[in-house]
Structures are given as structure tokens and as C-alpha cells.
């Protein structure tokens, strides 16, 4: 049997020998009180220390006598050591490890969850903590047909629902920065930027054309115009019972039906009305009035093409008693072998002398 050679003095209490025993080798400890080496046991070869931490699991082997003969740290796998992604990114299982995405974040300062695309069936969260109930919440669901998405704002009194189309083209709407005034509406600039604006109807047609309801939209026609400078209404064809109605109820110009197929143009005034009526069966023609006013007693004479001029129709009357006797334009008198006619310029009767033929 080999002899043990212990270290000589000076020795310190608790000193080990050998200090680093091999596996299966006995180890002793110096006891200063009793001045002797005491057997601690047989070395197992296991390095003294603490096994297992946040990143590792301690693994041990124990023999039949209960001694630990082997120990090591085994790295923990299947769980990420640190959160994935950048700050505020929500964590999720990504093939057995923590994953993250810039499109899925949580803002801890204002309690806001942001996701660029939502395809979940339902998201429900309390928006306002003014109630300690679950009656106020925001819900995102499929519509009743399973196509679009419905954004529901729920409150104790009811629900407001915003629904997408069944197959919309992707677009973004950006709300204004401030509240709008009463009566304003959200106006789209074509790029999704919304602004508060007072909405007014866009006139149809061109300047001066009168507007009318055309299948629910404003319509116009070049044959129906209003001249604001001359206060003139122009309608190429009129089938209405009333064309113009003045703001004075007793004064108006009306076009009305007068019997079968006839039309009456009526000029109304407080004292009465003057009517011009067509024949029931008329051949189309046009009349053009003279450019100036006619003299007293003159009449409108047609040239056969619809152009009217002022003229005088002769009227045979008895011989006046004197040249200053009253008369009218166009009056002619014959007596004593002479012709007399009333001159509208001098307002006197003049005798025609000389041979006429």
C-alpha cells in the first residue's frame, strides 16, 4: 500500500490535501485543534460550484452511494434569452422562439396597440375608464356576409358601425387635425387627406343655363337659359302652364293651354290681362316687330315674310267743318270736289289740290 506524504508545517486550519484531488483519490483536511489530518472522503472529480442559472439547467450524475460523480450546465433551448425586435414591439411565438415585428407594437405611455393589418375575428377593449363596466368598447368583426370588416363603437345607448366594401381597393384616410365648424363635411383631396369644408352643389352645364333635377343630380340644357344682365328667360320650347311668375303676385306673364291644341300668352296686371291666342291648327311662322315705336293711329303691316312695320290704314270720313277740326292719322274726307287728309305732324286737315291722275 503506498504511503501518504502529508505537507509539513506550518499548516493552517482547514487546509486540504491534496488541494485538487483526482477522481477516486481521498482528500484530507487539517484540524489545528486536534493537530491531525481528517479524511473528508473520496474525490468525485466534480468541480465545486453552483449549477443552473437563467440560461442553463444543472445536470448531475449520482452513484449508488449517493455521491455526485458528474455535474455540468446545460444551456436552455427553445426559449429566447431576450425579447425579440426593437423596443415596444409585441412578442409572439416564431417557430418556437420569441419573434417581433415593427408592424405590431404597443405604446405603453398611451395604452395603444398598433397593427398595420388586422385579420382577427374580434378585438374588444375598454377605451374609456369612466365606467367600471364592459359597456363601452371597440369591436372589429367580419360583416354578416363574412366579406368586409365592421368597426363598431359601442356605448350603453347604442352602437355605431363603419363597414368596408366586400372587395375594396386598399386606401388610407387621414382625418383633419382639428374639429370642424357646424355644417361642414369631410372633403377628400383625392389622396385620402380629409379636410372640413362647406359643401355646395356644383352647377351643371355652362354659365347662364338653368338647373333642374336630372335623375337625382343637377342638370342643365343650352335651350333653357337665364340672362342675369337683362333679366331674360330663354326657353326654345315651352310646354309648361307657367313661364314667368313675378314676385308681385298680381303681375305675371303666363303661357297657358286655351282649348284643344291652342296656346295663350297672357299679360297680367292688377287691372286685368291681355291674351294672345294661337289657332288650334296653325302653320308655323315667325313675326318680327319693328325697331321703333309707331305714331298714333299706326298699325302693324306684314310684308308677307313676317317682318312687321308701322303703317296707316286709310279711313274715309265726312268733310271736316274746318282745318282745325279733330281727326286721326289715316283719315281721308271728300267733298266739294276735293280730297282732305289729316296731317299727324300739324294735327290739321289739309286739302289735296292738283290732278291726282
Q: C-alpha distances in angstroms, 54 versus 73, 82, 85, 321?
A: 11, 11, 20, 144
- Rounded CA-CA distance 154/177 in Å is 24
The confidence score (pLDDT) of residue 144 equals 56
In this structure, of 4-18, 63-77, 170-184, 324-338, the range with the lowest mean pLDDT score is 324-338
* 13 compared with 237, residue with greater pLDDT: 13
Rounded CA-CA distance 301/192 in Å is 69
pLDDT band at 128, cuts 50/70/90? very low
Instruction: Name, in order, each residue with C-beta under 8 angstroms of 15's C-beta and a sequence gap of 6 or more.
Output: 7, 29, 30
Q: What is the pLDDT of residue 184?
A: 92
At residue 182, φ and ψ (nearest 5 deg) are -60, 135
Average pLDDT score over residue span 18-45: 84
pLDDT of amino acid 249? 43
For residue range 186-225, list pLDDT tens digits in order: 999 999 999 999 887 788 999 999 999 999 889 999 888 8
What three-state secondary structure class fits 260? coil
State residue 109's pLDDT score.
84
Between CA 166 and CA 145 the distance in angstroms is 9
52 backbone dihedrals φ, ψ, rounded to 5°: 90, 130
Q: What is the pTM of this model?
A: 0.29
pLDDT at 173 over 60: yes
Q: Classify residue 80 as exposed, middle or buried by CB count within 10 Å of its CB (0-12, 13-18, 19+).
A: middle
Strands (E), 116-231: 124-126, 137-142, 149-155, 158-163, 185-188, 194-197, 212-214, 217-219, 224-227
Query: What are the cell numbers at 143?
Result: 360583416
CA-based nearest residue to 266, from 282, 244, 247, 249: 244
State the average pLDDT over residues 53-67.
Answer: 86
pLDDT number for residue 190: 93
Rounded to the nearest integer, the mean pLDDT of the chain is 78
Taking only the tens place, the pLDDT of each residue in 300-350 is: 889 999 999 988 766 677 788 787 788 777 678 887 777 887 777 788 888
What are the backbone angles phi and psi of residue 145, rounded to the nearest 5°?
A: -100, 0
| Rounded distance between C-alpha atoms, residue 184 and residue 194, angstroms | 12
Q: How far is C-alpha 243 from the chain's CA centre? A: 39
Please count the CA atoms within 13 angstroms of the CA of 84 that sit on its side-chain side.
Answer: 16
| pLDDT computed for residue 305 by the predictor | 92
Domain ranges of the chain: 92-163, 233-284, 288-357
pLDDT at 129 over 50: no
CA 168/CA 170 separation, integer angstroms: 6
Confidence of residue 139 (pLDDT cuts 50, 70, 90): low
Query: Is pLDDT above 90 for 64?
Result: no
Cβ atoms within 10 Å of 30's Cβ, excluding its own: 19
Q: Which of these, 107, 154, 151, 152, lies nearest to 131 by C-alpha position? A: 154
Amino acid at each position: 500500500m503506498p504511503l501518504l506524504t502529508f505537507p509539513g508545517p506550518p499548516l493552517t486550519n482547514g487546509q486540504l490535501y491534496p488541494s485538487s484531488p483526482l477522481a477516486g483519490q481521498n482528500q484530507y483536511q487539517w484540524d489545528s485543534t486536534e493537530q491531525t489530518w481528517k479524511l473528508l472522503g473520496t474525490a468525485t472529480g466534480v468541480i465545486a460550484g453552483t449549477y443552473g442559472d437563467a440560461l442553463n439547467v444543472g445536470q448531475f450524475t449520482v452513484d449508488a452511494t449517493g455521491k455526485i460523480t458528474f455535474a455540468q450546465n446545460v444551456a436552455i433551448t427553445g426559449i429566447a434569452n431576450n425579447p425579440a425586435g426593437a423596443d415596444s414591439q409585441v412578442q409572439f411565438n416564431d417557430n418556437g422562439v420569441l419573434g417581433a415585428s415593427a408592424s405590431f407594437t404597443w405604446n405603453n405611455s398611451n395604452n395603444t396597440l398598433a397593427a398595420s393589418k388586422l385579420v382577427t375575428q374580434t378585438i374588444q377593449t375598454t377605451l374609456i375608464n369612466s365606467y367600471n363596466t364592459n359597456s363601452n368598447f371597440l369591436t372589429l368583426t367580419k360583416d354578416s356576409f363574412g366579406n368586409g370588416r365592421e368597426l363598431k363603437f359601442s356605448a350603453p345607448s347604442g352602437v355605431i358601425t363603419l363597414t368596408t366594401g366586400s372587395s375594396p381597393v386598399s386606401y388610407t384616410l387621414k382625418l383633419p387635425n382639428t374639429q370642424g365648424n357646424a355644417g361642414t363635411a369631410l372633403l377628400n383631396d383625392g389622396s385620402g387627406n380629409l379636410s372640413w369644408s362647406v359643401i355646395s352643389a356644383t352647377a351643371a352645364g355652362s354659365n347662364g343655363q338653368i338647373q333642374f333635377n336630372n335623375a337625382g343630380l343637377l342638370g342643365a340644357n343650352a335651350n333653357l337659359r337665364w340672362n342675369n344682365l337683362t333679366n331674360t328667360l330663354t326657353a326654345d320650347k315651352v310646354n309648361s302652364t307657367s313661364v314667368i311668375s313675378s314676385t308681385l303676385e298680381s303681375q305675371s306673364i303666363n303661357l297657358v293651354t286655351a282649348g284643344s291644341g291652342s296656346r295663350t300668352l297672357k299679360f297680367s296686371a292688377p287691372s286685368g290681362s291681355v291674351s294672345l291666342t294661337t289657332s288650334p291648327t296653325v302653320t308655323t311662322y315667325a313675326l318680327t316687330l319693328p325697331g321703333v315705336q309707331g305714331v298714333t293711329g299706326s298699325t302693324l303691316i306684314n310684308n308677307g315674310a313676317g317682318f312687321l312695320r308701322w303703317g296707316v290704314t286709310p279711313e274715309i270720313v265726312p268733310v271736316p267743318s274746318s282745318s282745325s277740326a279733330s281727326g286721326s292719322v289715316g283719315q281721308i274726307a271728300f267733298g266739294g270736289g276735293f280730297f282732305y287728309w289729316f296731317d299727324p305732324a300739324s294735327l290739321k286737315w289739309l286739302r289735296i289740290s292738283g290732278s291726282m291722275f
